[in-house]
Amino acid sequence: MLKKVKYSEKEMIDACVQNDRRAQELLYRKYLPKMMQMCFRYTNDREQALDIINIGFLRVFKKMDSFAFQGSFEGWIRKIIYHSVADYFKKNERYLQFLVFEERDEEVPEEVLDKMYVEDILKLVDRLPPATQAVFRLYAIEGFTHVEIGKRLKISDGTSKWHLATARKKLKKMIDQNTNRLYAG
């Protein structure tokens, strides 16, 4: 049986830099619930969230020696995991539907969308009302149908369609506002 080891935050970071597997496991277990909660804002699929988190923690361990003990260590980890979320959705083409627009929506210049990072779009999605945001994430990011969303959220598929249309309108408006700022400045 393994002896239980207690580390201060600095000792844990130093041990992780030295590739101490016990310290890495403790760090992972300590921050996993909070990072999982963050990932569930972008996907409700547990397996997908774990994939993202595991990739993120691998990056955390690889970059651990670059943590400068300035600011929150948890915030530093959160930032790396957040970038893993964005990278995951960039790499997985089937999730790129979540760029908001259907092909017929051509009012937003393509160069503006090209300049927007996935993180920027996800931040805009975060600003949607909760029910509209939930439907948008399930449909556009996770690929559920309106019937599946209706069952999952206990709403009609028509209500799901309404929330999606509302999300698209609001996101388009927010992107237009960002576009105006880009061209005005």
pLDDT tens digits, residue range 135-162?
988 887 666 789 989 998 999 999 999 9
CATH code given to domain 9-91: 1.10.1740.10
Q: For residue 175, what is the enclosing H or E element?
A: helix 157-184
The stretch 18-39 carries a mean pLDDT of 92
Mean pLDDT, the chain, rounded, equals 79
User: What is the residue whose two structure tokens read 């923690």?
Assistant: 57
In this structure, which CATH number among 2.60.120.380, 1.20.140.160, 1.10.540.10, 3.90.1150.10 belongs to the domain 96-184?
Answer: 1.20.140.160
Q: What percent of the chain has pLDDT over 90?
A: 35
The pLDDT of residue 103: 36
The pLDDT of residue 101: 43
Work out the angle at residue 96's Cα, subtended by the Cα atoms of residues 90 and 97, and round it to the nearest 5 degrees.
Answer: 165
20: its two tokens? 């101490």
At 100, is the pLDDT very low, low, confident or very high (cuts 50, 70, 90)?
very low
The pLDDT of residue 181: 62
* Rounded Cα gap, residues 116 and 154, in angstroms: 33
Domain with CATH 1.20.140.160 in the chain: 96-184
Q: How far are the Cα atoms of 6, 81, 86, 166, 172 from residue 46, in angstroms, in the given order?
A: 29, 15, 17, 27, 29
Q: Which region among 6-20, 38-52, 169-183 has the lowest average model confidence (pLDDT)? A: 169-183
Domain with CATH 1.10.1740.10 in the chain: 9-91
